[in-house]
Amino acid sequence: MANTFGRLFRVTTWGESHGGGVGVVVDGCPPRLDLTEEDIQPDLDRRRPAQSKIVSSRKESDRVQILSGTFEGKTLGTPISMWVRNEDARPEAYSEMATKFRPSHADYTYQAKFGIRNWQGGGRTSARETIGRVAAGAIAKKILRERNGVEVLAYVQQVQRIVASVDSETVKLKDVEANIVRCPDPVAADKMIRLIERARKAGDTVGGIVVGVARGAPTGWGEPVFDRLEADLAKAMLSLPASKGFDIGSGFDGILLTGTQHNDPFRSKGGKVYTPTNRSGGIQGGISNGQTIYFRVAFKPVATVMIEQETVDVNFKNTILKARGRHDPCVLPRAVPMVEAMTALVLVDHALRHRAQCE
């Protein structure tokens, strides 16, 4: 089940970048949830290409259609199938990649593993696969928001060496959406946009960091040992295209502190336990502790660049490739809704597991 994610709230994505369309099947969604395409579309609009000058120019409306699992605007408790038609596929732009492997892309590894690959836009390895994740994540976010009071959002913290100053405890969605790079720090955002534009004009790409935030998660979500909440979040984030690193709370910066400095002391107020600091990132022992969950995801520069590079062909002969087509100079602005989606999918799955075991 390599294309399925989750235990009780299960998501299976399908489709290729330049095929007829892409979609998702969601199994395990509770019944009687109000749900229409209008609940899904806003997040797909945030993910779609051609939304600004710093993302891919591929022109897709990405209009979602719910095919099953709802009746009269409510979920039935049966599998929900959704799909989005591919409208602006141009496979001819990838003809050279039929015989040449793009450096640092999945072309060679897919060919080596399966002995066959869809070279048109990367096929299944394309970020277009994430449409299904974002559509499913929109449902998960609605469940978390309406039934658990949990807010999930993400934002761009860093592009290359430009770092924003943002408080994860107070940042709001409207601040994230205030500019095309989805960075709530307007000064840093302007610098990021200029940097991405320079990379695009040079035919190159840049990477950076997206911060994921979940506020309002209660104490108790997550499982001991192998299914720790942060372990499932890490798997979810590292399954995203171009992701290369994950840390939570203090993360790698925590190694600079002593145990005394790093520990989050417990306090009690009104019969509720809390921690004045949150270096744990809202998770201790693999289980949520009631504080804000926050983590970082590092995304590499997009592998497809418009500059000649050394590579090999399908006959393992050394050659040169200069890619064509429409590609993101930086994945971060469109990765924000992807990080939100995967966060919500992990949390809603653990919410259902906790309810089944402990309530």
Q: Give me the domains of the chain, ranges plus CATH numbers.
A: 4-358 (3.60.150.10)
- What does the pLDDT look like over 64-104, one tens digit per residue? 999 999 999 999 999 999 999 998 777 676 788 889 999 99
Task: Give the global pTM.
Answer: 0.96
Token couple for 174:
């409207």
Q: How far apart are CA 237 and CA 234, in angstroms?
A: 5
Token couple for 301:
């520069």
Q: Catalogue the E-assigned strands of the chain.
A: 4-5, 10-15, 21-27, 64-68, 70-71, 74-75, 80-85, 151-159, 162-163, 208-215, 243-248, 267-269, 272-274, 283-284, 287-288, 293-299, 309-312, 318-321
What pLDDT is recorded for position 326? 72
Helix (H) or strand (E) holding 339: helix 332-358
- What does the pLDDT look like over 287-309, one tens digit per residue? 999 999 999 999 999 998 989 99
Q: How far apart are CA 107 and CA 299, in angstroms?
A: 19
Among 27-31, 89-93, 199-203, which stretch is predicted with the lowest mean pLDDT?
89-93
What pLDDT is recorded for position 1? 60
What is the arithmetic mean of pLDDT over 185-209? Answer: 97
Task: Please state, for a pLDDT cut of 70, what percent of the chain lies above it.
Answer: 99
Q: How far apart are CA 84 and CA 132, in angstroms?
A: 8
Residue predicted with more confidence, 7 or 57: 7
List, in order, residues 6 or more apart from 315 with CB less than 8 Å away: none
C-alpha of 243 from chain center: 9
| Contact indicator for 321, 96 with CB cutoff of 8 Å | yes
Token couple for 30:
């509770």
Q: Please, which pLDDT band fits residue 253 given cuts at 50, 70 and 90?
A: very high
Q: Is the pLDDT of residue 230 over 90?
A: yes
